[in-house]
Amino acid sequence: MKKIFKVLGYLVLGVLFICVALFTYVSFAWNKSYDAPFPSVSVSTDSTVLARGQYLIYGPAHCATCHIAPEDYDAMSAGELVPLAGGNEIVIPPGIFRPRNLTPDVETGIGSLTNEEVARVMRFGVGHDGRVLFPFMPFENMTEEDLNAIISFLRSRPPVSKKIEASDYTFLGKAVLAFGMIKPTEPGATPKKALKQEATAVYGEYLANSVANCAGCHSPRDLKSGEFLGPKFSGGLVFEEKDAFFTTPNLTPDPETGLLATWNEDSFVTRLKSGLVHEGTPMPWSSFAMMDEVDIRAIYRYLNSLPPTKNLIEKTVVMKE
């Protein structure tokens, strides 16, 4: 009997030791710094470039959906250029994430960041302080022209002084970082210089994967680390919001389980243009409603060119009790 207690005692001590070691490691290692290159940027004040930047930011790249306060969504939907001064919070198990003030204010915005630091956030997912960022902004393969246009537009706006607190990580979030489960992103092939905006599957592939992040939400993923767990665009990612659970539909052309099997290109355009139906959905409907029709057609053509994947999503919205 005594022996068993002794063994148990060692076991408890062992587990305690491992917990303390884990805790200590995570609290020291979570905010390690990464080296990633600073992409070169060329900023312009040309009106065509600024218009392109504005279109991407408020439309398909939906920086605005995350980087403005939720109470300003209506003004944004009405076409107002609401300043990208932050004020939104994304609350998920790894932490409370607060998109920054992107206006050129020196104290509270990106006025103190170089263009290359902003570009590094977009291409490599590494923040100005060297921290790897959770994958909210998968713009690593954005074309050079579009990246330049976005930064040019941000620089052209009036500064707005609004202090945004740093994001707060939970223990889980810190552990994900400490154990290197999120790494700086790598632009796949060298990013293209430019792509022609036209209603083709090639341009749709670019929008859905590298600009509008349809892939990021409409694919099975681990919500802790962002890792992809199954075929892209097959849906099934679940978001718990205040009043409901939202599940992304399968966007592949599977005749039985693919949402778009019964939609033609025109009904897809109409649906995207008509905006939000379910209050509280994480899909950035207001930004996408501002997309040009050619972009929506391009995305439809791309989605229809994907290999069909069977994944039945019974309901995309389930209200909480």
User: What residues make contact with ligand HEC under the rule CB under 6 A?
Assistant: 57, 61-63, 65-67, 90, 97, 99-100, 102, 110, 118, 121-122, 127-128, 133-134, 136-137, 139, 150, 167, 208, 212-214, 216-218, 239, 246, 248-249, 251, 259, 271, 278, 281-284, 288, 299, 316-317
Residue 299: φ, ψ to 5°:
-65, -45
* Residue 63 exposure: Cα atoms within 13 Å on the Cβ side: 25
Name the minimum Å distance from CB 94 to ligand HEC: 10
Q: Which is nearer to ligand HEC, 22 or 261 (CB)?
A: 261
Q: Which is nearer to ligand HEC, 27 or 274 (CB)?
A: 274
Name the minimum Å distance from CB 52 to ligand HEC: 12
CB-based contact 213:138 (threshold 8 Å): yes
Name the minimum Å distance from CB 1 to ligand HEC: 53
Kindly report the CA angle at 39 between 127 and 45, in degrees rounded to 5? 100
- 157 closest CA partner among 228, 62, 58: 58
What tokens were used for 198?
Answer: 């036209």
Name the minimum Å distance from CB 18 to ligand HEC: 29
Helices 171-178 and 2-29, axial angle in degrees (round to 10): 80
Name the minimum Å distance from CB 190 to ligand HEC: 19
Q: Which is nearer to ligand HEC, 3 or 315 (CB)?
A: 315
- 243 closest CA partner among 273, 210, 196, 280: 280
Name the minimum Å distance from CB 262 to ligand HEC: 11
Plot region of 80 (φ>0 → left; ψ -120 to 50 → alpha; else → beta): beta
Q: Which is nearer to ligand HEC, 74 or 168 (CB)?
A: 168
3-state SS assignment for residue 48: helix
CB-based contact 111:105 (threshold 8 Å): yes
* 299: Cβ contacts below 8 Å, ≥ 6 apart: 204, 207, 208, 212, 214, 268
CB-based contact 130:178 (threshold 8 Å): no
Partners of 238 in the beta sheet? 247
Q: Which is nearer to ligand HEC, 14 or 170 (CB)?
A: 170
CB-based contact 148:41 (threshold 8 Å): yes
Helices 265-274 and 293-304, axial angle in degrees (round to 10): 130
CA–CA distance, 153 with 51 (Å, rounded to integer): 8
What tokens were used for 92?
Answer: 């998920």
Q: Which is nearer to ligand HEC, 14 or 274 (CB)?
A: 274
Name the minimum Å distance from CB 303 to ligand HEC: 7
Q: Which is nearer to ligand HEC, 179 or 275 (CB)?
A: 275
Name the minimum Å distance from CB 23 to ligand HEC: 22
Q: Which is nearer to ligand HEC, 150 or 306 (CB)?
A: 150
Q: Which is nearer to ligand HEC, 175 or 208 (CB)?
A: 208
Name the minimum Å distance from CB 249 to ligand HEC: 5
